[in-house]
Structure 1
Amino acid sequence: MDEMTRLRELRADAPVPDRADLAPGRKRLTDAVEGRSRRTFRLRADWRIASLGAVVAITAAALVLTQVVGVQAPDPTSPATVAGDLDLSSPAAALGQAADFLERQEVPPEPRADQWIYLRQGSPEQEKHWKELPAEIRDQTRWSYSPDSWVPYDDKAAENDTSDTDYRTARESYRIAAGLPEDPEALLAELRKVFPSGTGPEGVPETRDAHSFRALTVLLESYPLPPDALARMYRAMATIEGVGVTGHLIRDAFGRQVIAVTRAYDRNTRREILIDPVDYSYAGRREAVIRTHVVYGPDDSDGPDRTVLKRGDILSDIARTGAAVVDAKGQKP
């Protein structure tokens, strides 16, 4: 039995917890009326809390604003640490190691047109706060909490909907990834074309590097992706100016140890892409406060909507615990 098989068996008994893509002020839209839903891993063009002040005002009744109490040291018995060879000294080292591993994996066949993509993702805090909302509010909102989602792999109706320039169906994403060039600079240039900047009603100005990071992340959250394509994406990510990696594993929303690839969004917050340290699959994303600052309500006053965000606060923490290609909607692996 090889080392990777032993590592996976070590984590085989770990429970798969509930989760859903429900962030502060940005929960997943469930399109039940149309009989389909957008992928929970889609990101808007600004991949941020569009107006942090507005979000804090909306969520001032205590939605998901969690303060980090400290980074836990890696558990020496965890699967990630047992591997013992993780190099987190730099983005090039960590993402290059991930790419090396993925390039050795067999590329599975592309899903069939009649298959479905199953995802399970979210956080315990999101579920808790959703359940605490009064029933009348839950009934009136367009948003809902659901730990599981299914989308058709071949969704022609969604492919023909051009209203959201960041949204791609599972099949579109798979084929975009499979066709990406080897050269990191050319790969990022292609993704900037696929996911344009500053378009649509929510478009915001972006620097070239911010655009590259956001565009790559939109595709990274797709499922499935060919492992060789994912390897090219990781190598390209390491070349983006401002990208970093924590020098240690961090804990995600469910306490799993993960690699965190980071990039500042602005002077106050940063984005963190979470990667499984065993098979290097996408494991989630976080938004963290890197500078203590004050956020005011809609009237910019020192009223009840005024909130102090402290360095280390986590504004959103979305972890993915399940992803699979299945034969029917409602089926779980």
Structure 2
Amino acid sequence: MDEMTQLRELRADAPSPDRSALAPGRRRLMDAVAGDRRGRARRADWRLVSLGAAAAVTVAALLGTQLLDTSDPRGTGPAMTAGDLDLSGPAETLGRAADFLEALAPPPEPRDDQWIYTRLVMGPPELKSGDQQGEVEYDPDSWTPYGNAAAEKDRSDDDRSAREIYEAADDLPDDPAALLAEVRELYPSGDTPEGEAQQTFRGLSVLVESYPLAPDALARIYRAMATVPGVEITDHLVKDAAGREAIAVTQDEEGTHQRREILLSPYDYSYAGLRFVVTEDHEMDLPKGIKGINKKLAAGDITITQARTAAAVVDARGAKP
């Protein structure tokens, strides 16, 4: 049996793609890969900290955003060019993003019977060693119900429906410190030791990825995000998995030798994707029985890169805008 087959078998017991259904399989996989470092409490946001896991895991595109086609930034509204951006720091970049969003008229909230369509691009790991780690298998198109009464009733811990996240974000206070405290209540650390700043950024990343968020709610989130210790802005635009330019809002992840990067569109500050980037040379631990995969990672390697290229509210599962 080859290594990629062994890796895929780690996910053999995973149920059909659904935000709540995927959670147990993801947690088992991440716990196996991370060894003593157990997965975080947020069931739908398990960090793919292993290059081997990134090459094998089947990903369902369960992320959502405003009604948007991000393939052509000129179609998203008033264009912001790279020259208009201020990438000098979190307060400057995220403050400008908040100002932009506060000037937008809020779109109508989806009906409970509508669906959220999203399209995801997931790129292969980008390694300085040049080693090939296999292709990432995933379904780029995804539909999830906006109002999901069954999932809301039976969900575990903080795996919320799109409607619940919308309501929670809309209720967040203006004061950044109070907002961050509420985010930590929404997305607790569970039984895993986690620094407050990392927990906060993780929770904020869940909200930024989520559909739908009213523009003023997202503006409050961005202003609060700028105050989280360790949050930085890369001083140049980076490339997402779809090859588009993006703003990188970053924070180093404790104990993983990697940093989480939330990617934002430089044209309208909407969510564009995410990356995990190695911060220092290290050798990662693989699950027992997995052999033949390069375990050495170098600073600057990108282990996870994905981009959301389209999202919309539709009236039926399988419908596209």
Length-normalised TM-score, structure 2 = 0.74
Task: Return closer, same or farther for 1:273/1:319 CA change in 2, 3 Å cut-off.
Answer: same
Letter aligned with residue 259 of structure 2: R
Cα gap change, 1:295 to 1:285, in 2 (>3 Å): same
Q: How many residues align?
A: 272
Deviation for aligned residue 1:82 = 3.6
Any idea what SS the aligned residue of 1:112 has? coil
Which residue of structure 2 aligns with residue 129 of structure 1?
135
Matches within 5 A, 1:1-333: 31-32=15-16, 37-38=18-19, 50=31, 52=33, 59=52, 82-125=81-124, 129-130=135-136, 145-163=138-156, 165-198=157-190, 203-266=191-254, 268-298=257-287, 304=292, 307-333=295-321
Structure 2: unaligned runs, 5 residues or longer: 1-7, 36-47, 58-72, 126-133
Percent of aligned pairs sharing the same letter: 50
- Give the greater-gyration-radius structure (CA): 1
Q: Distance in 2 between matches of 1:167 and 1:215?
A: 12
Structure 1 stretches lacking a partner, 5+ long: 1-23, 65-77, 132-144
Structure 2 residue aligned with 1:17: none
Q: Distance in 2 between matches of 1:25 and 1:275?
A: 34
Any conservation in 1 of the 2:231–2:251 contact (CA below 8 Å)?
Answer: yes
Aligned partners of 1:176, 1:284: CA distance in 2, in Å?
22
Decide whether aligned partners of structure 1 residues 130 and 219 sit closer, same or farther in structure 2, where only a CA change above 3 A counts.
same
Distance 2:110 2:241 in 1: 29
* TM-score, normalised relative to structure 1: 0.72
- Over residues 39-82 of structure 1, what are the superposed CA-to-partner deviations in whole Å (9 max), with x where a residue is unaligned? 89999999x95565668989289659xxxxxxxxxxxxx97884
Runs of 4+ in 1 over 3 A off after TM superposition: 24-27, 29-32, 39-46, 48-58, 60-64, 78-83, 296-301, 303-306
Query: Using a 3 Å threshold, how does the CA distance of structure 1 residues 104 and 270 change in structure 2: closer, same or farther?
Result: same
1:209/1:296 Cα in 2 relative to 1: closer, same or farther (>3 Å)? closer
Contact 1:41–1:221 (8 Å) recurs in 2: no
Q: 1:160 to 1:60 in 2, by over 3 A?
A: closer
Letter of the 2:272 counterpart: A
Q: Superposition RMSD on alpha carbons, in Å?
A: 3.6
Q: CA 1:113/1:248 → structure 2, altered by over 3 Å: closer, same or farther?
A: same
Q: C-alpha separation between the residues in 2 aligned to 1:238 and 1:25?
A: 41
User: Judging changes above 3 Å, is the alpha-carbon distance between structure 1 residues 274 and 161 closer, same or farther for their aligned structure 2 residues?
Assistant: same
Residue pair 2:260, 2:275 contacting (<8 A) in 1 also: yes
Cα distance change on mapping 1:210 and 1:44 into 2, 3 Å: farther
